[in-house]
Structure 1
Amino acid sequence: MGSRKKKDKAASIAMIILFSVLAILIVLPVFTLFIASFKPGGDLLQYGLNLDLKLERMSLDNYVLLFTGNHDYWRWFLNSIVLTVLTVFCTLFVSAFVGYGFAVYDFKGKNFLFIIVLIILSIPLEVVMLPLYKQISGWGDNYAAIILPFMAHASTIFFFRQYLFGIPQSILEAGRIDGATEFGIFFRLIIPVMKPAFAAMAILNGMNAWNNYLWPLLVIRSSSKYTLTLGLNTLINPYGDNYSLLIVGSFFSIVPIFILFVCFQKYFVEGMTAGAVKG
């Protein structure tokens, strides 16, 4: 018994050390970016990103430029917020319907269609990017071309299906006995139960939409519709001093996702845990 306790204690200490190292590796780049946001943009070119705390070189000039300067940063920021909100809403709405269908109903070809979903999970965007672009090339320069092709998101469908397997069938039967329609059962009974799953998928899909770069780069043509990732990329050029705005803008772009995670952290952990063990 004593040796087992020692092994458990040693395992706990090893886990603490491991996760502490991982936490440092994750936080360190963000902290480095935070320090760099107080330095002149020329320092980024000369010294790169570093942890050198030279107080005489640090000021709030970059933040003054961000909030009062003449640039398009806030237009890009607003475009990204609009696109992210629309993407998350459409993806959750459609994927919840599809996941609910796979979990609750029995129909011909159900297993075959779900296998297709699993296959899609293993195919990276780069493989289907060109044929997909050819399909939507006639849609015009708009956000619909970014949102619509990915509304039925394979990983989100899979997660919702696994989560819904844990919902008792008695809820559905009670709804049908009370005379509720199938849509009524979904909207009135199922969606309230799925709040943790919605929160978890909202954060993950929100992060993907906010950081999405490659697909908007192919689709968007007008500079007025640039998202934050595309707009910040235009600042990387050898002409003009754009690196001050680039570095502070890059750091500030983390804020919305950080706020989203803090607000829904409880539901995120609950939803991810439930989705992992159900099914």
Structure 2
Amino acid sequence: MKKNNSKLLSIIATVVMAIVSLIALFPIISMVLSSFIPSSSLMRNGISFSFPWSELTLSNYTYIFTQSAEYWTWYGNSLWISALMIVLSLFFSSMVGYALAMYDFKGSNLFFVAVVFILMVPFEILMLPLFQLMIDTMLIDTYLGVILPGVVAPVAVFFFRQYALGLPKELMDAARIDGSTEYGIFFKIMLPLMGPSLAAMAILQGLGSWNNFLWPLLVLRSNDMFTLPLGLATLLTPYGNNYDILIAGSVMTIIPIVILFLFFQRYFISGLTVGGVKG
């Protein structure tokens, strides 16, 4: 009887989760289908739940691949910035989080409290001081101006610290006895053990950087340096909307995030769960 009840509950849970997943995916499915509708039809009818199946065409994608050089410039900018942001953020944030977790030094608790405090501060409050700093350092309209404020992200530092608390300190003592330096311990022993946390944070940082709109909007000025969200936003003007690029281009923006998630998905859940319960 218990087995039957358990099996029934499992089936119900599966059906409910499948329905919820379909509801969550419906906007994406709607956008993908809309990307195959001619721009004239989109301007006339908008994005709706009923699709003119007879009008489906590849013209929007043909336009992107053959006549929209600026779109691929924005795409390349976003890829370049996101890749740098992921690499630099993982490198520096993991070092800071590891140090806060594994070393007892004067002021370590104060540093951690500062990290938690910054986590509670909305970015909009920090935006103007950061913008003034970019002006003073002449980093306006540069990639560095977009990347540097997010290199050591408080959420990443907190996450890596929580994960590193679960690492065995005995490995550090053994490595010291063998003559390894502190940097050698981190890069050769501890960092590989933090692989799941690195994969999980790579997805989160990549997603945040790829979709970032507000900060690049403040820093970047030149059209050829725009990221993809900024570039697509310029297509919506009071004088006309270029739906040929806007809808199909929005669908194309999903591809890098999907690839990133598929590449790191095996570590994603374990990295989040272990990093979330340690401490």
Instruction: Tell whether the structures are fold-level matches, with TM greater than 0.5.
Output: yes
Asked if residue 265 in structure 1 is aligned to residue 265 in structure 2, the reply is yes
1:23 corresponds to: 21
Q: Matched residues in 2 for 1:15 and 1:142: separation? A: 49
Q: Matched residues in 2 for 1:95 and 1:239: separation? A: 44
CA contact (8 A) 1:37 1:248 kept: yes
Q: Deviations over 1:93-119 (max 9, x none)?
A: 110011011110001111121111111
How far is the alpha carbon of 1:240 from its aligned partner? 4.7
How do residues 229-244 of structure 1 correspond to structure 2 at under 5 angstroms? 229-240=229-240, 242-244=242-244
How do residues 1-279 of structure 1 correspond to structure 2 at under 5 angstroms? 2=1, 6=5, 8=6, 11-13=9-11, 15-138=13-136, 139-140=138-139, 141-240=141-240, 242-279=242-279
How far is the alpha carbon of 1:51 from its aligned partner? 3.3
Of 267-276 and 102-111, the range deviating more from structure 2 = 267-276
Aligned to 1:38, the other structure's residue is in SS state coil
Q: Matched residues in 2 for 1:10 and 1:121: separation? A: 43
How far is the alpha carbon of 1:145 from its aligned partner? 1.2
Of 124-133 and 83-92, the range deviating more from structure 2 = 124-133
Aligned to 2:236, the other structure's residue is in SS state coil
Q: Matched residues in 1 for 2:98 and 2:233: separation? A: 39
CA contact (8 A) 1:175 1:185 kept: yes
CA contact (8 A) 1:94 1:151 kept: yes
How far is the alpha carbon of 1:195 from its aligned partner? 1.2
For these two proteins, the number of residue pairs brought into alignment is 277
Unaligned runs of at least 5 residues, structure 1: none
Aligned-partner residue type, residue 181 of structure 1 = T
How far is the alpha carbon of 1:121 from its aligned partner? 1.2
Aligned to 1:189, the other structure's residue is in SS state helix
Q: Matched residues in 2 for 1:129 and 1:21: separation? A: 40
How far is the alpha carbon of 1:22 from its aligned partner? 2.7
How far is the alpha carbon of 1:17 from its aligned partner? 4.3
Aligned-partner residue type, residue 222 of structure 1 = S
Aligned to 1:249, the other structure's residue is in SS state helix
Unaligned runs of at least 5 residues, structure 2: none
Aligned-partner residue type, residue 104 of structure 1 = M
CA contact (8 A) 1:41 1:241 kept: no
CA contact (8 A) 1:163 1:197 kept: yes
TM-score by length of 2: 0.93
Q: Deviations over 1:183-228 (max 9, x none)?
A: 1111111111111111110010000000000000000011110000
CA contact (8 A) 1:102 1:110 kept: yes
Aligned-partner residue type, residue 163 of structure 1 = Y
Q: Matched residues in 1 for 2:219 and 2:42: separation? A: 31
Aligned-partner residue type, residue 130 of structure 1 = L
Aligned to 2:237, the other structure's residue is in SS state coil
CA contact (8 A) 1:36 1:49 kept: yes
TM-score by length of 1: 0.93
How far is the alpha carbon of 1:10 from its aligned partner? 6.2
Q: Matched residues in 2 for 1:126 and 1:22: separation? A: 33
CA RMSD of aligned residues (A): 1.8
